[in-house]
Amino acid sequence: MSKLVFSVPYYDSAFEAGCVIDREEGRFEMRVQAAGEVVMTSGELIGADPLILVGMAPFVQTVPVGSFPVQLAVAKIDGDERVALARIDFSTDAIVMWEMALLPEQDPDALEEDEIYGYTTDAGMACFMDAASADALKSEISNDSDFFEELMEEMDENFQPTWSWANMELETGNIVSFMSGYGNGYYATYLGRNAAGEVVAVVTDFEVIPWHGTSYQA
């Protein structure tokens, strides 16, 4: 059985208007927040905590080049709201499978049952950006730029109780940042592929909604 390929129906439905996801653990009322577009110039996608970008590598699977919409699926649970999923759409093609995104040296065959690969957030935040933008940003940070202060100001402009987001233009490309679910954690990212095997979407799952997906042999 593959530990890389999954069936997760709500990765699509959570981004549809009026979606409600019922689980034994509770009822999750979903709403979608558009977060602008992310600019992909190299096709090498980074998912990371934006405050600890130094040393972060892109996922080994590449994505299309261009500018693509980012959406946040925000879950309301007993009056509390959290960013449950962050998604990039590269195409409107139907998704036939979800595949775990991997960082260098992550081997899916080494995973135990119910284990994941992902990245760590230490500031309760996550982001999407192109590797070329990240490389340029690291150079700016090394030259004492005000990136961190500016990012927090951008996040504050879109503040909602318990969550916020920002789409910040950089000298090279941009960075789309958002709060990560309930805060710090280790979160997996999944690539949605169409029938031809092309990447048509990416979703980072912040483990707000209990995950009832199953792995299967592709």
Q: pLDDT tens digits, residue range 49-60?
A: 998 876 689 999
> Percentage of residues in the chain with pLDDT exceeding 70?
94
Across 14-33, average pLDDT: 92
Across 115-131, average pLDDT: 93
pLDDT category of residue 5 using cuts at 50, 70 and 90: confident
Q: How far apart are CA 208 and CA 34, in angstroms?
A: 19
Task: Give the chain's mean pLDDT.
Answer: 90
Q: How far apart are CA 81 and CA 163, in angstroms?
A: 7
Write the CB contacts of 39 (distance below 8 Å, at least 6 apart in sequence): 66, 67, 130, 133, 173, 174
